C-alpha cells in the first residue's frame, strides 16, 4: 500500500502534521507504537499554549502557533478542554519586576497583547498568590488545552480527516526514502515520510541532536476558584532550563475541573520514569513561595514524562538530510510541543509543497548544528 504521506507519531505534533497535509488533499497514514492517540509526551505535559521569548525564533514560532490555536478553538469540543485562561508571569522581587517590564516591551513589539500589573493589581487578578510579590505581567490570550483529546480531534474531526488513516500499536523500525518498515516486517510506501515521534525519532535518524529531559507533574483535588490563570515565575527560564542536573521552577495551571496542575522540573541523563519524591518535594516547596496555601491542598496524582530537547531549545522542522529525499523531521519541541504543533505543521507542509512559509524556517532547520560546526561557529 502506498499513500501520499506517512506520519510516524500520533502525538500532538504528528497529529497536527497529518491534519495539515490531509487538509491539502494528501492521503495520510499515521503510525504510532502506542495503543492510543496522544500518548507519550503529549499525555504527560501540561497542555499550556503560551508565547515564549527565550529567543527571537522561539517568540516567532510560539506566537504564530498560538494564533493558529485561537483560530481553531471554536471548532474544538468541550472534551478538548480549551480555555483562554491567560498566562500570569509573576515577579518575586524588583529585579524580576524590571524583567516583567522588559518582557512587556518585547511582546507588545511583536504584537502580542500583554498588561503590566503592579503588586496591588496582581493580588486583585490572582488573590491566591503571596502578598509579598512585586507585580507581574498578564498575557491574556494564552490558553490551555487537553492535548491528547486535541490530537484525537485533529486526526478524526479536522477538515481533512477523511484522508487520514491511523494505525496504533504499530512501531516503525526503519525509514528509507519512500518507505517505512514496521517492527513486524510489514512495509508501507509513502511519497513523503514525516518523523514526528519525539524522542524515539533518534531510533530512525540516529544523527538527530535530541536528548531527553525528564519532568514531574502533580495534580490536586478539585478546588474551584483557587486559581484562574496559568501562573509562572518570571525566573522560569533561568530556574527550569539549567544545562545539567535537576532543576525546578514554579508553574501552576487551573484545570477546567477545578483541579490545580503543578509543574515543573527538568532532569538530564535519565530515562527512569519513576516519580522521584525529593524532586517533587522541591517543586512543591518552590510553588509554596508563590501560592502559600498550596501545601494544604490534597494531591491526587503525580507522574513524569520525557521531553525531546535540542541543544538550542528549538525544534527540528524540515528535511532529514540530502541522503534521504522525501524524509522529513518534526521533533525536538521540548516543553512547547503543544504550543508550537500547529505552526510546525504549517511550516513542514509549506516545505513539502514548495511554498513560502509564514515565518522564516531557517532557525528550525534539521541541519543547523552541522552547518554551524562546518562554519566554525560563525
In a domain, 67, yes or no: no
User: If DSSP codes are grouped into helix, strand and coil, which group holds residue 234?
Assistant: coil
What rounded mean pLDDT belongs to the chain?
94
| Residue 134 near residue 92, CB atoms below 8 Å | yes
User: If DSSP codes are grouped into helix, strand and coil, which group holds residue 266?
Assistant: strand
Q: What is the mean pLDDT of residues 312-341?
A: 96
How do residues 4-49 score in pLDDT, each as one tens digit? 999 999 999 999 999 999 999 999 999 999 999 998 899 999 999 9
How do residues 227-262 score in pLDDT, each as one tens digit? 999 999 998 655 544 555 689 999 999 999 999 999
* Cα angle, residue 21 at apex, residues 19 and 24 outer, rounded to 5°: 110
Distances (CA, A) of 75 to 10, 22, 28: 20, 17, 22
264 is in which domain, residue-wise?
84-141+211-309
Q: Which three cell numbers stand for residue 292?
A: 502559600
Same domain, 102 and 219: yes
How do residues 258-314 score in pLDDT, each as one tens digit? 999 999 899 988 899 999 999 999 999 999 999 999 999 999 999 999 999 999 999
Same domain, 132 and 230: yes
Q: What is the mean pLDDT of residues 318-341?
A: 96
In a domain, 357, yes or no: yes
Same domain, 153 and 280: no
In a domain, 155, yes or no: yes
How do residues 104-146 score in pLDDT, each as one tens digit? 999 999 999 999 999 999 999 999 999 999 999 999 999 999 9
pLDDT of residue 378: 47
Same domain, 298 and 234: yes
How do residues 188-219 score in pLDDT, each as one tens digit? 999 999 999 999 999 999 999 999 999 999 99
Last residue of a domain, one of 253, 287, 309: 309
Same domain, 112 and 162: no
Whether the model clears a pTM of 0.85, i.e. scores above it, the answer is yes
How do residues 52-63 score in pLDDT, each as one tens digit? 999 999 999 999
In a domain, 330, yes or no: yes
Q: What is the mean pLDDT of residues 82-103?
A: 95
pLDDT of residue 243: 52
Q: What is the mean pLDDT of residues 138-164?
A: 97
In a domain, 57, yes or no: no
Same domain, 130 and 177: no
Same domain, 221 and 200: no
CATH code of the domain covering residue 201: 3.50.50.60
Q: What is the rounded CA–CA span in Å between residue 378 and residue 370?
A: 12
| Number of domains the chain is built from | 2
Amino acid at each position: 500500500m502506498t499513500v501520499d504521506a506517512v506520519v510516524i507519531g500520533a502525538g500532538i505534533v504528528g497529529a497536527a502534521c497529518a491534519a495539515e497535509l490531509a487538509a491539502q488533499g494528501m492521503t495520510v497514514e499515521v503510525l504510532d507504537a502506542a495503543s492510543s492517540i496522544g500518548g507519550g509526551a503529549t499525555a504527560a505535559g501540561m497542555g499550556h499554549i503560551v508565547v515564549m521569548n527565550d529567543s527571537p525564533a522561539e517568540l516567532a514560532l510560539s506566537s504564530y502557533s498560538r494564533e493558529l490555536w485561537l483560530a481553531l478553538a471554536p471548532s474544538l469540543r468541550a472534551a478538548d478542554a480549551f480555555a483562554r485562561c491567560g498566562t500570569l508571569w509573576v515577579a518575586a522581587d524588583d529585579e524580576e519586576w524590571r524583567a516583567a517590564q522588559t518582557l512587556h516591551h518585547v511582546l507588545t513589539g511583536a504584537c502580542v497583547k500583554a498588561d503590566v500589573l503592579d503588586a496591588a493589581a496582581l493580588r486583585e487578578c490572582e488573590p491566591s498568590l503571596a502578598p509579598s510579590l512585586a507585580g507581574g505581567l498578564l498575557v491574556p490570550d494564552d490558553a490551555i488545552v487537553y492535548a491528547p483529546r486535541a490530537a484525537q480531534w485533529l486526526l478524526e474531526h479536522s477538515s481533512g480527516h477523511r484522508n487520514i488513516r491511523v494505525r496504533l500499536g504499530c512501531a516503525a523500525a526503519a525509514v528509507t526514502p519512500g518507505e517505512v518498515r514496521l517492527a513486524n516486517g510489514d512495509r508501507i510506501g509513502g511519497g513523503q515520510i514525516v518523523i514526528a515521534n519525539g524522542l524515539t525519532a533518534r531510533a530512525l535518524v540516529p544523527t538527530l541532536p535530541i536528548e531527553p529531559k525528564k519532568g514531574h507533574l502533580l495534580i490536586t483535588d478539585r478546588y474551584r476558584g483557587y486559581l484562574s490563570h496559568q501562573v509562572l515565575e518570571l525566573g522560569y527560564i533561568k530556574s527550569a532550563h539549567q544545562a545539567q542536573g535537576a532543576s525546578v521552577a514554579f508553574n501552576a495551571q487551573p484545570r477546567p475541573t477545578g483541579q490545580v496542575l503543578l509543574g515543573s522540573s527538568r532532569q538530564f541523563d535519565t530515562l527512569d520514569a519513576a516519580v522521584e519524591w525529593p524532586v517533587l518535594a522541591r517543586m512543591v516547596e518552590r510553588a509554596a513561595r508563590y501560592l502559600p496555601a498550596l501545601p494544604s491542598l490534597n494531591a491526587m496524582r503525580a507522574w513524569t514524562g520525557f521531553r525531546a530537547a535540542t541543544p538550542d531549545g528549538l525544534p527540528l522542522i524540515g528535511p532529514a538530510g540530502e541522503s534521504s529525499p522525501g524524509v522529513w523531521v518534526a521533533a525536538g519541541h521540548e516543553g512547547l510541543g503543544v504550543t508550537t504543533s500547529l505552526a510546525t505543521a504549517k511550516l513542514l507542509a509549506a516545505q513539502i509543497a514548495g511554498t513560502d512559509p509564514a515565518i522564516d524556517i531557517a532557525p528550525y532547520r534539521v541541519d543547523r548544528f552541522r552547518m554551524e560546526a562546518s562554519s566554525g561557529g560563525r
